[in-house]
Amino acid sequence: MASMKIGVIGAGNIALGHLRCYAQCPDVEIVATSDVSSERLAAVAREFDLKRGFRDYRDLLALPEIEAVSVCLPNWLHAPVTVEALEAGKHVLCEKPPALSAPDAQRMVDAATESGRKLMICFNYRYRNDTRFVKRLIDSGDLGEIYYVKASWLRCAGIPGGKDSWFTRKRFSGGGPLIDLGVHLLDLSLWLLGHPRPVSVSASTYAAFGPRGLHNLSRVTEPEVGAFEVEDLASAFIRLDNGATLTLETSWAMHTASGRDEYSVHLYGTEGGVEMDVRNYTMVDTVRVFRDMGGVPVDSLPHALQAGNGHAAAINHFLWCIREDRTPESTGEQGVALMELIDAIYRSAEARREVVLT
């Protein structure tokens, strides 16, 4: 089998994850990277023995041998660069969030349709082994009808970047922890439920820490006061068209256990429940199942689940879809629907009232 030739746009931490996964894939050749930083380009060239690196991503897109690209850039660049890559005839794996807004995400889908190329959004948490187990459990019907979902990602001190970071500027990031962390939780919840349609949302956002100074994850630096135009905590109550409800909470910073950085998705059905709790990115012993057996409540912990890298599995799925001409599991259309929900959450929080989605 001929090697599939790949380009990676971006050379930051997320791009490094993509590069390391591609490097482990058989029949894949990383042809080039691009980044505005010469230092980062030099670092990835050394680590992956790459001969070509460009300051301008358009030079990478101009290489005819490249078949597919990963877009690993700051949020505001996702949509325009993805559209250009699709128009250049490349298949695209775009990091989350899909875009800054639903209309931007729709332009990505339109470009994929017009070009005939694959567009996959890298919702990598779908591809973890624990998450796949939960999906199989729900789809089997063992838990009955899922009617309530509680999703949470809370950090004690996790405002990303530093003073004047793009993460905290609305026009560059699109928002705070809702669009940064909550996007994963919303995608996971809707995917696990089989993509019901959100019909209304009531939400609140807060900025209790960011405007007073930023702390990084380890709190080893002094607070830096800079531009902070986004929330540092968001909560939402979402009604779905199948009758289920979804509650969401997500924070970059709050008064909670020191060092806390954990996410959870809890789903409760008519015949059982399942709770997935991931603390500091652990990959094993994260799932508990609750059922009634012989009239007695029983809790079980599936110990046989193996650790699985969600990014690696997502990238392998992307490559498989290209080779087999299949539709990716995490589609651009799902990205549009997700951004419509996130847009509605922000509108609800700003208006301080429930927003109905049409």
Q: Show me where the domains of the chain are located.
A: 4-125+312-329, 126-308+340-356
* Mean pLDDT of the 299-323 span: 89
pLDDT at 222: 54
| Average pLDDT in the chain | 94
pLDDT tens digits, 115-154: 999 999 999 999 999 999 999 999 999 999 999 999 999 9
Q: How far apart are CA 113 and CA 48, in angstroms?
A: 33
Q: How far apart are CA 84 and CA 273, in angstroms?
A: 44
Catalytic position from the list 5, 51, 90, 96 = 96
Q: How far apart are CA 119 and CA 109, in angstroms?
A: 7
96 annotated active-site:
yes
pLDDT at 285: 85
Closest CA to 156 of 38, 299, 254, 246: 254
Residues 6+ apart with CB under 8 A from 102: 336, 339, 340, 343
Q: How far apart are CA 104 and CA 98, in angstroms?
A: 8
Q: How far apart, in Å, do the first and last CA atoms of the chain sit?
A: 47
Q: Say which CATH topology domain 4-125+312-329 has.
A: Rossmann fold (3.40.50)
Q: How far apart are CA 68 and CA 315, in angstroms?
A: 11
User: Which CATH code is given to the segment(s) 126-308+340-356?
Assistant: 3.30.360.10
Least confident interval from 31-35, 129-133, 339-343: 129-133
The model's pTM: 0.94
